[in-house]
Amino acid sequence: MLRDNTIVVFRNNDSESEELANYYLSAHSLSSNHKVGIDCSSDEILGSYAQFRVEVEYPIQEFIAIADFNVYVIVLGLNVPGGFYSSTTYDPYDPYYYDPYDPYIGNDIIAATSRLARINYEFSLHTANFLYNRQIYSEYNSSDAEYALIVSRIDAPTLALAKNMVNNSNDLLKQYIIKGKFYLDPYSNKLGILANEYTQDLLDFETRTLTDIDLENFITTYIDPYIDVVIPKVENDSFVWSWYSDRSNSSFFGTSTANIRGFLYNADADAAYTVRDSEIGRWCPLAVEAGYVNCAGAMSDPGYDAFLRPMPFYRSILNRSTIGEAQLYATPFWDWTISFFGDPLSRFIFAGTEPDTDEVVENESWRQMKNDSSSIITYSKNRECALEAILNYIVGSANILFEVALLDNAYDLYNSSNEEARKKIYNDLANLTLAYPVATNPPSTDVNTYVQENGYKISENLNEFANSAQVTDSSLIYNSGYWEFDFRVQNDSEDVSDYHFIMHVIEDADYCDPYAIYGNTLFTLNSEEDQTNWYYEKFENEFFDLPSEGVPQGYIGRRIRYKAPVENYSTYAKRLIFRVWQKDIITTYDSRDYEGIVSSL
């Protein structure tokens, strides 16, 4: 339980800061040994990392080292510094000085929440997040905590507003269900590849995740690439995710709401420059004043590639994560400018939704079923070949006694596995496999319609073994010898990496092909050199062309698929070994072997 692994940090000799810390402890029934006092400036932004290190980071490290519990969550309280400037002038005596030609160096303001998430590691500007955008969900655990802690700020223009953040979180934990409106603005007037990618991420969220959130929503409409379409005002809102309009005012929020306001994020350059002054119209202090339980923003321009991503954030929430965990998985970089505000232990569900899981959907279930049925039939062909080879060996033997003793049994075994016998054995399997989608997916009238509408094909042998539900359109049947192979991305590196793959397709022991040479490599395929015919599971059960830069770290557990081109076709029922190496820019990791058979799927 994350509550028991949480500390709250206050500023020594600051009565309001300590009062808020005690208020937070009381709200979560935590004892005073979860409270950390530090001697620090009240400035929201410190002048350098050296100052931040001495005033904030070191005292927290010292507390963690002697605490009688594991610290996974840090809450920075009222008037505790929220960030620091990165190095701007050359100082040969400063070990944290960086190359002035580094594009990330300058007047960047590094968020305290971002830096302290990596408190157990040396400060390293703009560090890619190993936990970012996990495609296969798993709860935050001790291994994740070794990599990054959950850190948030509860700070505000006044003590009363800071306490209100705690009160709102408490209300949320009691109510647990959020019912307010979701406001999404996927469009801005920003141009370029990275800006377009962010817009696409928001649009993907709209079509692939927002549809799973059972809330009324408002979504802006695209007009023109040079016009920043904005959300005019919110009413009865619980969530806002927008970009790029970087200023607003308190009138943006309706005068009242019947729902708890859960999370607000506006992707811009300085929404979180300060949370202690709302007069300038930045989004984070406005959200705090409007009663949002949590919000996030940049203290200085993070770059479009560093904006929070909504899909991993809300997929985590759908899986019952705390908001602190969700922000961890939605953050592309550490030691950078994005700051989080509010209670990281906040947790809620959307009315009418169930936890998001990787359950196999009906169509994918049938695709796997027909592939497996085809493989079963094909392995029976391989058995027929093996029994035929045994029979031929006995017939060709010069030992009469040997032949007489074994010939009848050998014939019986062969006849039990020849094509006629196999069709009798697997006729029901083939019929039921091809009839299943028709029975479960009305109004499809026949298997031809279903297969065509879903972009599938079937194997020739599966179709031939059926006699009551056959595919009659030859274009829906794979060519004999076609093969494809799926495998999953492994967690091979402790660093953030993009992965490519090398695959050797190797001949296995094969009774159906007397010319097969066990261990002979038929094809060597390298996705780094040529991405043709390589695909990755970008969304669950949806495959896209493998990117030239490889598959991101977050896709660990997702599938990679290779589809054989005509020149790599094999022979039906040929047994193969697929030897796969996963590699990043530095290391080629240990190979993994998989067995397969050319069933023509």
| Pair (130, 17) in one structural domain | yes
Q: Which of 296, 319, 350 finishes a domain? A: 350
Kindly state whether residues 296 and 154 are assigned to the same domain: yes
User: Rounded CA gap, 384 and 476, in Å?
Assistant: 27
- Residue 57 forms part of a structural domain: yes
pLDDT of 517: 83
Structural domain span for residue 274: 2-350
The band of 98, judged by pLDDT with boundaries at 50, 70 and 90, is very low
Classify strands 559-563 and 333-334 as parallel, antiparallel or unpaired.
Answer: unpaired
CB atoms < 10 A from the CB of 285, how many? 27
Q: How crowded is the C-beta side of 191, counted as CA atoms within 13 Å? A: 4
pLDDT confidence tier of residue 352, bands split at 50, 70 and 90: low
Same domain, 154 and 221: yes
Return the minimum-mean-pLDDT range out of 99-113, 401-415, 473-487, 505-519: 99-113
What is the DSSP secondary structure assignment for residue 59, as one 8-state letter?
A: H
pLDDT of residue 6: 98
CA gap 305, 337 in Å, rounded? 12
For residue 99, the model assigns a pLDDT of 47
Q: Is residue 40 part of a domain?
A: yes
Between these two residues, 382 and 149, which has the higher pLDDT value? 149
Q: Name the pLDDT band for 152 (thresholds 50, 70, 90).
A: very high
Q: Which residue has the tokens 């093969």?
A: 483
Mark residue 352 as left, alpha or beta (left: phi above 0; alpha: psi -120 to 50; beta: remaining): left
Residue 45, pLDDT > 50, answer: yes
Same domain, 184 and 264: yes
**492 and 420 in one domain?**
no
Q: pLDDT confidence of 386, banded at 50, 70, 90?
A: confident
* CA-based nearest residue to 190, from 263, 269, 128: 269
Domain-embedded: residue 14? yes
pLDDT digits (tens, 9 = 90+) for 163-210: 999 999 998 888 888 889 999 999 999 989 999 999 999 999 999 999
| pLDDT tens per residue across span 237-284 | 999 999 988 888 989 998 766 678 999 999 999 999 999 988 889 999
Task: Please tell me whether residues 181 and 90 are part of one structural domain.
Answer: yes
Nearest to 288 by CA among 301, 267, 270, 272: 272
Q: Are residues 293 and 428 in the same domain?
A: no
Residues 399 and 265 in one domain: no
What letter does residue 554 receive in the DSSP assignment? G
**Average pLDDT for 149-164:** 97
Q: What is the mean pLDDT of residues 502-521?
A: 86
Is 478 a member of any domain? Answer: no
Higher pLDDT, 526 or 389: 526
Bridge partners (DSSP) listed for residue 241: 184, 265
Residue 301 in any domain: the answer is yes
Mean of the per-residue pLDDT values for the chain?
90
209 and 281 belong to one structural domain = yes
Global confidence as pTM: 0.87
User: What mean pLDDT is predicted for residues 359-368?
Assistant: 81
Q: What is the mean pLDDT of residues 436-454?
A: 81
Contacts of 501 (CB under 8 A, 6+ apart): 525, 526, 527, 528, 534, 560, 580, 581, 582, 583
Q: Within this chain, do residues 145 and 49 fall inside the same structural domain, yes or no? A: yes
Task: Answer yes or no: is 118 within a domain.
Answer: yes
515-519, 531-535, 586-590: least confident range: 515-519
Q: Residue 229: is its pLDDT beyond 80? A: no
Last residue of a domain, one of 319, 350, 381: 350
Q: pLDDT over 90 for what percent of the chain?
A: 68
Whether 333 shows a pLDDT value over 70: the answer reads: yes
User: What pLDDT score does 496 carry?
Assistant: 84
CATH code for position 561: 2.60.40
Checking if the pLDDT of 443 tops 90, the result is no
pLDDT, tens digit, 9 for 90 and up, residues 283-317:
999 999 999 999 999 999 999 999 999 999 999 99
Tokens at 429, concatenated: 């399997």
- Structure tokens, 531: 């991405």
In a domain, residue 59? The reply is yes
Q: Output 148 or 178, whichever has higher pLDDT.
A: 148
Domain boundary among 305, 325, 350: 350
pLDDT confidence tier of residue 89, bands split at 50, 70 and 90: very low
**CA distance readout (Å), 20 to 55, 83, 158, 166, 465:** 20, 20, 11, 9, 73
Q: Are 562 and 525 spatial neighbours (Cβ–Cβ below 8 Å)? A: yes
Which residues, including other chains, have CB under 8 Å from residue 237's CB and lie 6 or more apart? 180, 181, 182, 183, 253, 254, 257, 259, 261
Distance of alpha carbon 384 from alpha carbon 373, whole angstroms: 17
Residue 378 has pLDDT above 70, yes or no: yes
Paired sense of beta strands 150-153 and 592-597, if any: unpaired
Statement: residue 34 has pLDDT above 50: yes
Shared domain for 507 and 442, answered yes or no, is no
Q: Is the confidence at residue 96, as pLDDT, over 60?
A: no
Smallest Cα–Cα separation from 151: which of 306, 293, 303, 339? 339
Residues 422 and 560 in one domain: no
Specify the number of domains making up the chain. Answer: 3
- Residue 355 belongs to some domain of the structure: no
Q: Of the ranges 217-231, 376-390, 424-438, which one carries the lowest mean pLDDT score?
A: 217-231
Q: Cβ distance 465 to 452 under 8 Å?
A: no
pLDDT value of position 363: 86
* Position 61 pLDDT exceeds 60: yes
